[in-house]
Amino acid sequence: MKKKNKDHYHTYIWNFNIIKDPYRVIAEIFFMYSLDVYRKHIKVFLLLAVKYEKIKCKDLTMMIDLLHSMRSLILAADSILSEANNETIVKSFSVRDEAICVCKTLTESELSNPFKVLAQFFKYKFAKKWCITLDDILDYAFSQFDYTPDYDLLPIYILLNGFIEANFLINTRINQPSTSLINIAEMETKNENILSL
């Protein structure tokens, strides 16, 4: 009997592929959408949960797609954090101009060691609990009733933003270590143009 491929990072639902390497999961996530798109939609998603903002129909599928990819990102980051070789990755990179330019919520020590951010993120909640929290907030966001979320959304917003930026840095440093400030600035400008459409 043929063994079934286990989709440990739940990537098939948004990527239509089962990805087994956690670093590739992160690379695919930032290939699909930019850092700015994730930051914008985290904010919209949490505002929807408290019924502060109404969702446009065209944003609905993108929002759900982003949430599925966020769940995969959480599971992949949890695997990466448990690996022993992340210290060597940290030592080989210093804080660069492009990191300061792109990341808005991380401190200088977090910029030089994004694994610190992952550790704080998973200290707040385990990976499985984060996935449950995202599902619960999704229920609040799309509920027709005015439920008040059981969660304090401000720390969740801050942690999710830092988490996204830390993963972006890890992806940039591992897959594109020679990326220049100009290339990242150009990429962010293109993403802003896409967001404004």
How remote is the C-alpha of 153 from its chain's centroid? 16
What's the pTM value of the predicted model, to 2 decimals? Answer: 0.78
Provide the pLDDT for residue 180: 40
DSSP class of 179: -
- The H-assigned helical ranges of the chain are 12-15, 22-32, 35-49, 57-82, 86-91, 97-102, 108-112, 114-124, 127-142, 153-175, 181-196
DSSP class of 149: P
Provide the pLDDT for residue 181: 39
Provide the pLDDT for residue 71: 92
Provide the pLDDT for residue 195: 54
Task: Give which of 63, 70, 69, 34 is closest to 49, Cα–Cα.
Answer: 63
d(CA 99, CA 181): 8
Note down pLDDT in tens along the chain; length 197 residues: 455 668 888 888 888 888 888 999 999 999 988 888 888 888 888 887 776 666 665 667 778 888 889 999 999 999 998 875 665 556 555 555 555 567 788 888 888 888 889 999 999 999 999 999 988 888 887 777 766 667 788 899 999 999 999 999 888 877 765 444 344 445 555 555 555 55
How remote is the C-alpha of 109 from its chain's centroid? 20
